[in-house]
Amino acid sequence: MTYVITEACADSKDAACWEACPADAIHPGPQEASFREHAQLYIDPAACIDCSACEPVCPVEAIYPEEDVPEASQDSIAANRDFFATRTA
């Protein structure tokens, strides 16, 4: 199981989740060169330790446990996974 950032993040890109994550599982962070290139932040399913620290700090409620992702946002599960499949840095 992992947590997933849905497309609602794109309205905000607040990055409070990035600050809260103890596992460095959320990218791109505001310190990363590619932060402005991407519409939202994503969670690396291979790095997430399922601690839930990110979920309550998101100001737009964009983060869900994978099994609770709303039907309309199911594409976000693959979007998070695929972001890290192609990421080089």
Return phi, psi of residue 42, to 5°. -135, 160
Does residue 46 belong to the site contacting ligand SF4 (CB under 6 A)?
A: no
| Contact mark string toward ligand SF4, 18..37, x via CB under 6 A | --xx-x-xx-----------
| Contact mark string toward ligand SF4, 54..83, x via CB under 6 A | x-----------------------------
Q: How far apart are CA 59 and CA 37, in angstroms?
A: 21
Does residue 9 belong to the site contacting ligand SF4 (CB under 6 A)?
A: no
User: What SS3 state is found at 80?
Assistant: helix
64: enclosing H helix or E strand? strand 63-65
